[in-house]
A and B are shown apart, each in its own frame.
Chain A
Amino acid sequence: MDDDEAPELIDATALPSDSPSVFDSAPHRVPITLITGYLGAGKTTLLNYILREKHGKRVAVIMNGASTSPTALWTSANITHLRIWRLANTHSNFFSPFVAADIEKSLTVNQNGQEVTEWLDVGNGCICCSVKDSGVMAIESLMDRRGSFDYILLETTGLADPGNIAPLFWMDDGLGSSIYLDGIVTLVDAKNILRLLDEPAPEEHAHESHPGPALTIAHLQISHADVVILNKSDLVTAAELEHARQRISSINGAAKIHTTDHGRTPQIEGVVLDLHAYDHLSHLDLQAKGHTHIDPNISTIAITHPAIAASSIARIDAWLRSVLWDSYLPPGDCSSLASADFEIHRLKGILALNDGSFRIIQAVRDVFEIRDAENSRGDMNSADGPDHCKVVLIGRRLGASVTPWQRSLESFLHSDKNRQ
């Protein structure tokens, strides 16, 4: 921009509400939803969902700098409430491979016929011992600068492994971040999904060198999903659609699946946004159907256990560390796992304690936490909470049977009692 005419000054107060001062003790937290799925799987549908349902809300959409231009996509949307940024090359672990910091990326957005250039400020701050990923910090500083948004959508479509990205946004409460991970929404094209799962192109393989059926990016996107939007159902037969649903459900028995048909969408209040998938549990989460093994790679299993004493929580923690960090299932009293090579993608659980209180377990890959169950929204109170513990696991090579897992947890808890 090298003109000799001074441009018009901009009134900062005309921008959305003042950003919270850095001196505030409790920053307003904005939910961020990771949108994943293959290109062409239906971003526009999803955006229309959100904008129609959340009319009047301010939605920020952040796209990987490497993805295709979005200008054609947004023209039908109510884009005065939409701000779109490209995230510039950063030292971030989830966007492009490491390149020198460069804040030159920009994006032109059609806004009611006017072209508006929106920048995403990416600092060159120290990455060396920062707790937060620099891409995450860039998004936070965006929120600080541009005022409060109601929702942030982060597009990670294409060939990204959501299991590497989710932990970056699932930050410790103590960090006081202005954003929090609400959940992962995966877009699935009903017409193509079975081919993507079974006959992937070389670049669609997940990076790994295990023998056996290929693990694809599509598998990872479904296994990590909290919500799956099954698009283009009108382009397939009823049987094909059911086939796709079952396959998805077999991979991830905990995700909610929403089918779209001719662009019509069901009531989606609270089912695509406001998921709280990482800090709450609902009954639906725990009604996961497990034990079907349609997919050769990924399955869902559910373990139950009677209510436990509070003193057993440390033992549960140790069991989770073994399973999630060491990929080692402590042997149960009789059965052992056929394959010792499993990999957990997502884990949710509820611990019912003898004193009537609850803890919830959340995990994605090797990051997990056990936290107090909040009783807001009436999710978990002793009246309608379960009277037993339940743990739902989604992952790879979990084995044909839930028994080794069930036995493992039981023995592990029991052996602690014997020791005392």
Chain B
Amino acid sequence: MAMVPANRRCSGLDCENEAGSLQCPTCLKMGTDSFFCSQDCFKRSWNSHKAVHKAKSNFLTNLFPPNVVSEPDPVTGHYNPFPKYSFTGPLRPVYPLSPRRTVPASIPHPDYAIDGIPRSEQKFVGRHKITILDAKEQEAMRKVCRLAREVLDAAAREVKPGTTTDYIDEVVHRACLERDSYPSPLNYVNFPKSVCTSINETICHGIPDQRPLVDGDIINIDVTLFHEGFHGDINETYYVGDKARANPEAVRVVETARECLDNAISLVKPEMLFREPGSVIEKHAKSRNCSVVKSYCGHGVNQLFHTLPNIPHYGRNKAVGTAKPGMCFTIEPMINLGTHRDITWPDDWTSVTTDGSLSAQFEHTLLVTEDGVEVLTARLPDSPGGPVPMPMVNGEKSDEDNQSAQH
């Protein structure tokens, strides 16, 4: 991350000086930036600083050297694992993460559960045909997506000020196991938890930790289950507390994202081009003065967690392919109030907006039918959340009906 803050502090031991442009060459080689105010200070700090170089490949090992980690809170034991990182918004990670959760061997695991590598996905790199599911396979997708919806709803019921994202992870994990399902995110390319929880300026892939939700937050919960050989993928953004529902900016970004997904789904039917949903999404986002994240796309989902097709969420793209009956894929637009640009935290997962502005997302797993689409992860009558009306600026709620269809 080459983020250079205006006043950078020296990374030296017990040094309060501002740092100029002098950097540790070993850190540079490793791809990180460590600034020091002077060669003397660097020499003085060398013994403790060099411990940073030793532990390299796993991001967790960055936590060991005491001068790189903030002091744990004496009461809670919580700390920020990246105190020198130039966060783009107010959100901070709150470590330690809870211990790795396990899944009983009786529940079938996907191939990457062992070492993080989704080998079965790699076999299909390059040109290949998109999977068409037969009736039996479609039924299996229906089932896992229904279970994913149940798990998401269970997690969403815990959304209130004070709940930690780690607790949401615990609820999701348990709910998966109760449904004889493996939580797909767990160890997927070494993701450490069973669900992605993305708060405020976080675009996606937030890691559940010890931070309690705060009245006014918005949180996206992204659940995927692996059940009897198939993955079902779903996410929604929820308001935390009345403060969030009364915040016109929060409502604008969340409802725009919801509507973008609805608009895109209305295109889905046989012969739809995968390059088309992006135009519709971008057009609607623009009409609400929001931007569309470009870096992440919708994806095929079936026996594989992520596979072809790729479905960009922005317009004017060169995505290849046409929808045919029996194909399953997600559309999952990420919409921001400010810039579309994203940057990833040093944990190598959490993606945030570069200007710290709010971001919201919604996702469904879709099955193309003979004449249209089946939303496999559709909302149930008792699903929590759902659209909220735009609040009036003076605090009174608007009576205006929100136009978006309830999926």
Q: Give me the interface of A with B, judged by CB distance under 8 Å.
A: 1-2, 4-13, 19, 22-23, 91, 93, 97-104, 106, 117, 119, 121-132, 141, 144-145, 164, 170, 172-176, 321, 325, 365-369
Contacts and interface: CB of A to CB of B under 8 A. Distances in A.
Interface string B286-330: 000000001111110000011000101011111011100000000
Contact of A144 (B2, B50, B351): B2
Nearest to B298: A129
B244 interface: no
Given A103-B31, A127-B189, 19 more contacts: A7-B26, A12-B23, A13-B21, A22-B343, A23-B341, A91-B189, A104-B56, A106-B29, A123-B348, A124-B190, A126-B348, A129-B296, A129-B332, A141-B2, A172-B312, A174-B317, A175-B295, A365-B127, A366-B127
A368 B319 CA distance: 9
A404 B359 CA distance: 52
B213 interface: no
A22 B119 CA distance: 33
A131 B296 contact: yes
Interface in B48-100: 50, 53-54, 56-57, 59
B25 A9 contact: yes
Interface of B: 2-3, 21-26, 28-31, 33, 35-36, 39, 42-43, 46, 50, 53-54, 56-57, 59, 115-119, 122, 125-127, 188-191, 205, 273, 294-299, 305-306, 310, 312, 314-318, 320-322, 332, 339, 341, 343-344, 348-349, 351, 354-355
A132 B317 CA distance: 13
Contacts of B188: 128
A132 B294 CA distance: 10
Contacts of A101: 57
A12 B32 CA distance: 12
B297 A129 contact: yes
A172 B314 contact: yes
Given A119-B31, A365-B127, A367-B318, A19 B2 contact: yes
A103 B30 contact: yes
B305 A128 contact: yes
B335 to A, nearest CB: 15
Given A117-B29, A128-B189, A129-B306, A1 B53 contact: yes
Contact of B46 (A6, A19, A91, A164): A6
A125 B30 contact: no
A87 to B, nearest CB: 13
B contacts with A: majority SS: loop
B220 to A, nearest CB: 14
Contacts of A10: 22-25, 28
3 tightest Cβ-Cβ pairs between the two chains A and B:
A121-B31, A6-B46, A9-B22
A164 B310 CA distance: 16
Nearest to B38: A9
Nearest to A362: B318
Contact of A368 (B273, B318, B351, B354): B318
B213 to A, nearest CB: 23
A395 B355 CA distance: 46
Nearest to B56: A103
B39 A8 contact: yes
B125 A176 contact: no
A103 B53 CA distance: 12
Contacts of A11: 21-23
B119 A366 contact: no
Nearest to B46: A6
B189 A119 contact: no
Given A19-B2, A23-B354, A144-B2, A173 B316 contact: yes
A117 B29 CA distance: 8
